[in-house]
Structure 1
Amino acid sequence: MAPAMTTTSSSSDDTFDIINYAVHQGHGVKGLSELGLKSLPNQYVQPIDERIDMTTVIDEHSIPVIDMSDLSDQKVADSICDASERWGFFQVVNHGVPLKVLDEVKESTYRFFSQAAEEKNKHSKDNSPTNNVRFGTSFTPHAEKALEWKDFLSLFYVSQEEADAYWPQACKDEALEFLKSSEIMIKKLLGALTQRLNVKEIDEEKENLLMGSKRINMNYYPKCPNPELTIGVGRHSDVSTLTILLQDQVGGLYVRKLETDSWIHVPPIEGAIVINIGDALQIMSNGRYKSVEHRVAANGNHNRISVPIFVNPRPNDVIGPLREVIEGGETPIYKQVLYSDYVKHFFRKAHDGKGTVDFAKI
């Protein structure tokens, strides 16, 4: 029988320190879920306005699904750009990433999180030998009034050598293969998107700005008691150029419909990859392409995983509206910002919708 849940550390047998157990000892919400809790710990109960109100979810719309098998067809390129302007999200099929790679990276995600807490905690903020590998739970526990029901492993790619040295053996090869296999697709997407921004070709300098760094996350959302009271991930937009998201078949990703208070569920499609515009590309496109708020619901019946690749500028790059956009006659609405400063601003606070992008506004 699990001990009673309190927020206070105690040597008494009938008290239990949730924060120490989940955050510091590395058990995460997966460990809490496996205790057989009958009710959600208070630390995870979200304010009412942060919970998913199903009356705001609309069923008659869904984000576009785009077949990438023939990008030489201008209609396909146009559909990518149109979706990025009108929705900020779309799904792609026939994208060129082998289905075997997708299956294996999902299997490796389960394999990593099935390890003992002590093994996973070797990669926590306090224990990891590199800042580029981070196991954790929630988003920023020290800054959140209510914690999110999610564990994660975050892997920032520097080189094959560093990955070989520091990435967890349970998922290293599969994560690297997903990164490698996605690169052609990413370049095709960015080629289509920048063409509409009057960029004639993506040279080495532009490629570094758009996709000079990559981070792959492995997210685990265990079954949750009282899922209606909490959230897997709170409202936010990504700080990336693009996010390449592999989700399993459980579902639970919700996207805000632009300029409304309505939310749209992104249905899982076998073999598809979800693409979304990040803040960096919204800024570089001077607001033409939209990074959109999204969030993930907790689930009371199933464990869920997702594997996003965040395609980013390099930390030392300065981002702002692209020269080609401004030369076309547009007035810049964003200033020039050091990308690492933008990212630090995002990670020092709890999820707050689109709040981070204001950091870059003129």
Structure 2
Amino acid sequence: MADIIPVIDLEKISEQLECKKLRDACERWGCFRIINHSIPLSLMAEMKMVIEALHDLPIDIKKNNKDAIPGSGYLAPSAFNPLLQSFGLYDMGSSQAMHDFCSQLNATPYQRQIMETYGKAIHDVAVKIGQKIAESLGIFDADFKDWPCQYRINKYSFTSESIGSLGASVHTDSGFLTILQDDENVGGLEVMDNSGAFVSVPPFRGTLLANLGDIGRVWSNGRFCNVKHHVRCKEATTRYSIATFMLGPRKGNIEAPKELVDHDHPRLYQSFTYGEYRALRVSINKAGDKYLHAGEVLELLRLV
């Protein structure tokens, strides 16, 4: 596999060497590719067919996908991201949230079954990776099972005129960890390396991609990279991706565990809830004349 970013084998994740590779990937890149994750290729293919069908719905039905929290509903193409539209489902593990999402979009029982099955499988992967990330830092009591996850189901409508332009602008993810099922046929994702250059992340069938977000940086007390990334149009075609965001604790504040704070590593960020952070991002971007991506907002909460 010709890859620049690190590759993590989930079947070997308990081995010392693989755990060290995971920590290095989080510190140096803030992203890595996941192989041997145990999610069946058939389920991944069925999930892609479901999201293609949902994106084929009339616009009036798409708009029924309303926000449960800011930014969690349908996003139409905009001046900021003119080639992108997406659906959102906050707290995808909740039966009521899944019911509401499916009702809004008139999803069939089969489509709901696939989304629920896929959601459980991808949540289990996110929890396992989160726990192994914590263990790589010597923290063995971290529990991510109750952290809510959000779907963001994306469609990029690339044209010959848009080749070379950005389908999704430069940003960091706001949550702790993102698990991405990228389009296995269409590339475009690029991540920033530690020199500040963007490098291409090519598609590889059957693999998943993981990104560390802002909450991951706060939780690690600045040890982990909240990777900047964007999507660039490289060919005139349609590109789909399914992002699952593990956001933050359902209850309580986000802050680095005590094991990661000492005289040489003072606490870098204020303590806050994920809801407070999300509200801060929304309020700043509504009030200002310049859009700030998540990582830039995070810097407003630095203590040191």
TM normalised by structure 1 equals 0.73
Which of 230, 249, 255 does residue 295 from structure 1 map onto?
230
Which of 78, 82, 85 does residue 148 from structure 1 map onto?
82
In structure 2, the residue matched to 1:207 is 144
Unmatched tracts of structure 1, length 5 or more: 1-59
Mapped contact 2:163–2:236 kept (Cα < 8 A): no
Which of 74, 90, 108 does residue 135 from structure 1 map onto?
74
In structure 2, the residue matched to 1:359 is 300
1:196 equivalent in alignment to 2:131: no
In structure 1, the residue matched to 2:13 is 71
1:293-324 residue CA offsets vs partner (Å, 9 max, x unmatched): 00011344110010000001146531122222
1:112-171 residue CA offsets vs partner (Å, 9 max, x unmatched): 01112222122256xxxx558611224xx5xx6x44320000001262133123333154
Taking the aligned partners of 2:137 and 2:100, their CA distance within structure 1 comes to 40
SS of the aligned residue for 2:5 comes to coil
Mapped contact 2:87–2:154 kept (Cα < 8 A): yes
1:48-67 residue CA offsets vs partner (Å, 9 max, x unmatched): xxxxxxxxxxxx97111222
Letter in 1 for 2:132: A
In structure 1, the residue matched to 2:114 is 174
SS of the aligned residue for 1:136 comes to coil
- 1:163–1:323 Cα change, 3 Å: same
1:115 equivalent in alignment to 2:60: no
The structure 1 segments of at least 4 consecutive aligned residues displaced by more than 6 Å after TM superposition are none
Q: CA deviation at 1:328?
A: 8.1
Mapped contact 1:61–1:264 kept (Cα < 8 A): no
Which of 166, 174, 182 does residue 231 from structure 1 map onto?
166
In structure 1, the residue matched to 2:202 is 267
TM normalised by structure 2 equals 0.86
Structure 1 residues 24-173: aligned runs within 5 Å: 62-124=4-66, 134-138=73-77, 141=78, 146-157=80-91, 159-167=94-102, 168=105, 169=107, 171-173=111-113
1:28-80 residue CA offsets vs partner (Å, 9 max, x unmatched): xxxxxxxxxxxxxxxxxxxxxxxxxxxxxxxx971112222222321111111
Q: CA RMSD in A?
A: 2.4
CA radius of gyration, larger in: 1
Unmatched tracts of structure 2, length 5 or more: 286-290
Mapped contact 1:234–1:351 kept (Cα < 8 A): no
1:221 equivalent in alignment to 2:156: yes
- 1:85–1:299 Cα change, 3 Å: same
Q: Identity of counterpart residues, as a percentage?
A: 22
More displaced stretch, 99-108 vs 168-177:
168-177
Mapped contact 2:189–2:200 kept (Cα < 8 A): yes
Alignment size in residue pairs: 288
Letter in 2 for 1:96: S
- 1:229–1:252 Cα change, 3 Å: closer
Taking the aligned partners of 1:215 and 1:232, their CA distance within structure 2 comes to 21
Which of 183, 193, 197 does residue 257 from structure 1 map onto?
193
Taking the aligned partners of 1:190 and 1:314, their CA distance within structure 2 comes to 12
In structure 1, the residue matched to 2:125 is 185
1:197-225 residue CA offsets vs partner (Å, 9 max, x unmatched): 331223xxx436xx511101100001224
Q: CA deviation at 1:188?
A: 2.2
SS of the aligned residue for 2:42 comes to helix
Taking the aligned partners of 1:254 and 1:229, their CA distance within structure 2 comes to 12
